[in-house]
Chains A and B, each alone.
Chain A
Amino acid sequence: MFLQLFKIRAQAWISQFGKGKNGRISSGRMLVFAALFIYVGVVFIGMFAGIFRSLLMPVREAGLDWLYFSIGGVMAFLLAFIGSVFSVWNQLFDSRDNDALLSMPIRPRDILASRLFMLLVMNLVLSLAIMIPVIVVWMGIGRSAGIVNFIICALAVPFLALTVSTVIGFLVGLAISRFKRKNIFRVVLTVVVLVVYFNFIINGQRIMENMLGNIETLAQTARTWLFPFYHFGLAISEGNWLSTLIFLICTAIPFAIVVAVVSKAYVGALTMKKGSKTKKYKGGKIKARSPREALFTKELRRFSTNPMILLNAGLGSIGCVVLIVIMAVKNDAITGMFSMYPVLGGNLGFMVAGLLCLVLSINQISASSISLEGKSLWIPRTLPVETGVILNAKVKAHFVYSAVPAAICAVVAVVLLKIHSLAAPFVILMPVAFALFSAYKGLLMNLHFPNLNWINEVSAVKQGAGILLSMIIDWVSIGIMFILFFIMSKIGLPDGVVCIIATVIYAAAAFFARRRMMKTGGEKFENL
């Protein structure tokens, strides 16, 4: 039964990428997306390999080989943890098929096990993005000892990450479900996590330098506070079987306890009445809007009332707010950081605009807006408005959610970072034009790859071919702009020129995407 349940979940996940127009999974599409996944994986592995290469030598010179693996283990754990903590509540407890499964002769623990296993597979994929470069760099210096220990320990890391994310996800989910202002609570919680994360990223260089400068202290800290990862490091670097066993015990026992506890409360959690007590409706004034306004407000409301959607599809907007805070607090540090690199220091305008585009690329609001209609697609299809109006409302929501915070962020950057060149207006306009392009392109992608039969809302927002392609197009376009910027700076052109060119290109791309949407989008929507 467990395998059948897992198969259903895996099939639902795969079908989001490989389902063709006839509803069947197409092997051609699957191959394309497999190639894309491999490409993204290789890029990430390459990036982490660079980090671990710079870490290995100082650690080896200090005779603390185990620390290299401990740091790798902690990073793999953190990546898997961050990757699963926000979705653990929805994946485990909030699926649409809860009632159907509970009504069948299936043991609840099988339902739980299949869902946990799906999360474990995801965690494994994420942790491998770290563990593969860790071992490749290690073997690159001719060391091969502890390879079996490595395989065993690397496979155990996802269990540890899932244990912690299940505990935190469960407690937060439980608290939120009983909290009156749950949306605010959830968003604030995420912003706090993001601030900590961005702070770590900004100070990453310094943290790494401090770590390498105080290797002994770091090693002592790891021995004392990161006991499982200390043995993780020992297990692999020395091929130590006792440490392997200790790490496995540290992983298996908490996992077993968490599974036992959650399993006991599982049926209760699945059938828990959602939502807080609602007040009796007493009437009151009703605000009338035009059909266009009503559709636009509906799209805005969809993203603002569901924190899971907001956090998964609109994280870029929150990122802009976080950036504003960081710029206000760490203004000097940022200017100082950029001045360390001459090519960047004199071109702060483009760097800010490019960074904002990168942050906005996380926003995939329009790319999931069709999928989110799901089974309520009959509503827009029976409304007496042109299809173009419905599609434009979705684009407008994406644009407003992205462009407004990005523009505010750009204005703050221009003022605080003293970007006084002629490029200043285009530092603001470039991300705005990008947001417009991203909105139209995202909607087109979603019309081509809709996912209307989702089990869980989050999967409509987080997964699917349309979202993946839309994000990749964003990244490729930003990459091209950065290449253009480096070429221009080599021939001595100011960054303002690149900002102007990028703004024009994104605006033109948005124009063509809009034309395409108006030309073919209506028909695609009506044929869904």
Chain B
Amino acid sequence: MLEIRNLTKTYGDKKAVDNLSLHIKPGEICAFIGHNGAGKTTTLKSACGILRFDEGEILINCTSIKTDPVACKKQLAYIPDNPDMYEFMTGIKYLNFIADVFAVDKAERQYKIDKYAEMFALKDDLGGQIAGYSHGMKQKLALISALIHSPKLILMDEPFVGLDPVSTHMLKELMRRMCDEGAAIFFSTHVLDVAEKLCDHVAIIRKGQLVVEGTMESVRGDASLEQVFLELEEK
């Protein structure tokens, strides 16, 4: 579903991502772990077409994000770490706007908005302006907008930040269910416990380079993910 081949992205003289390759198959949840500034966000932004990269290739369901970004974007959803949205819109208008652009059928969008808004306890607030939303509410709205067009690949940057415990639980359940239905999820996180329990796959990045990648079991072995991560950081 997501294939990153030899991705390199530089900012001025600094290599933010250096020759990174990664393959995430349909049905997999992959956690992307690394210290601050390791290159996680750059990789995610490159994968969803926000950032142009210098070298390498990114394929979404076998389509290149470089040559056919529109076709790729139709299949994916991206949630940034700080979801700044159109504050002049109400929650419902924003969701409707996203559904319009992704050409979601009217009945289907109505059903999904109701379903996910109920699930994340945001339904009552959908009539309010986004400007008045808290960080957590914005995060929930971004999540609903990402789910509304049933993406095959979801890229998330720190999706659990700002969510209340119930919503965090709901999101984890939902992520698992979506992957069981064939979608792929690639998300960055600093919450290693969640990554360990939720993910089938893990990728650890350090200073722009992928240091470890594989199934959770193979990477972790007998230790915890936290121990593995700390050991790698010390090297």
Residues on A close to B: CB < 8 A?
Answer: 22, 274-275, 278-283, 286-291, 293-295, 297-298, 301-302, 305-306, 374-376, 378-379, 381-386, 526-527
Contact = CB atoms under 8 A, between A and B. Distances in A.
A291 B101 contact: yes
Given A376-B84, A382-B73, A278 B50 contact: no
B82 to A, nearest CB: 7
B96 A286 contact: yes
A278 B132 CA distance: 9
A376 B83 CA distance: 8
Quick one: which of A282, A290, A375, A384 has the most chain B CB within 10 A? A384
B176 interface: no
Contact of B114 (A280, A283, A288, A298): A283
B88 A278 contact: no
Contacts of A283: 114
Given A278-B128, A376-B85, A288 B101 contact: no
Contacts of B78: 378, 382
Given A286-B96, A306-B88, A383-B73, A291 B103 contact: yes
Contacts of A294: 97, 100-101
Interface stretch (B118-126, B186-194, B217-225): B118-126
22 contacts: A22-B12, A274-B131, A279-B127, A280-B127, A281-B123, A281-B126, A281-B127, A281-B128, A286-B92, A286-B99, A288-B96, A291-B100, A291-B101, A294-B97, A298-B86, A305-B89, A376-B85, A381-B50, A382-B73, A384-B74, A385-B101, A526-B52
B132 A382 contact: no
B125 A295 contact: no
A382 B48 contact: yes
The contact size tier of chain B is 35 or more
Q: Give the top 9 A-B pairs by smallest Cβ distance, nearest first.
A: A294-B100, A281-B127, A278-B128, A375-B84, A384-B73, A281-B126, A384-B74, A305-B88, A288-B106
B80 interface: yes
B49 interface: yes
Interface string B205-223: 0000000000000000000
Contacts of B80: 378
Interface centre among B82, B100, B124 (most CB of A within 10 A): B100
Given A281-B124, A384-B102, A287 B96 contact: yes
A287 B89 CA distance: 15
B170 interface: no
B129 interface: yes
Contacts of A282: 127
Contact of A385 (B70, B84, B88, B110): B70
B84 A278 contact: no
Given A286-B109, A379-B86, A382-B48, 16 more contacts: A22-B12, A274-B132, A280-B127, A281-B128, A288-B96, A290-B103, A291-B100, A294-B97, A298-B86, A305-B88, A305-B89, A378-B45, A378-B84, A381-B50, A382-B50, A384-B73
Contact of A384 (B87, B101, B127, B131): B101
Nearest to B75: A384
Main secondary structure of the interface of A (DSSP, over half): loop
A301 B127 contact: no
A274 B88 CA distance: 13
Interface of B: 12, 45, 48-50, 52, 70-71, 73-74, 76-78, 80, 82, 84-89, 91-93, 96-97, 99-103, 105-106, 109-110, 113-114, 123-129, 131-132
A291 B73 CA distance: 14
Contact of B100 (A274, A275, A293, A302): A293
Nearest to A305: B88
A17 B84 CA distance: 25
Nearest to B102: A384
Nearest to A294: B100
Nearest to A381: B50
A289 B103 CA distance: 8
Contacts of B131: 274-275
A384 B85 CA distance: 17
Contacts of A526: 52
B132 to A, nearest CB: 5
A278 B129 contact: yes
> Counting chain B CB atoms within 10 Å of each CB, which of A288, A291, A374, A376 scores highest?
A288
A275 B123 contact: no
A417 B50 CA distance: 53
A300 to B, nearest CB: 11
Contacts of B49: 381-382
A22 B85 CA distance: 26
Contacts of A293: 100
B100 A386 contact: no
Contact of B109 (A288, A295, A376): A288
Given A274-B131, A302-B86, A384-B70, A290 B126 contact: no
A278 B127 contact: yes
A286 B110 contact: yes
Contacts of A382: 48-50, 73, 76-78
B49 to A, nearest CB: 7
A386 B126 CA distance: 29
Contact of A286 (B73, B106, B132): B106
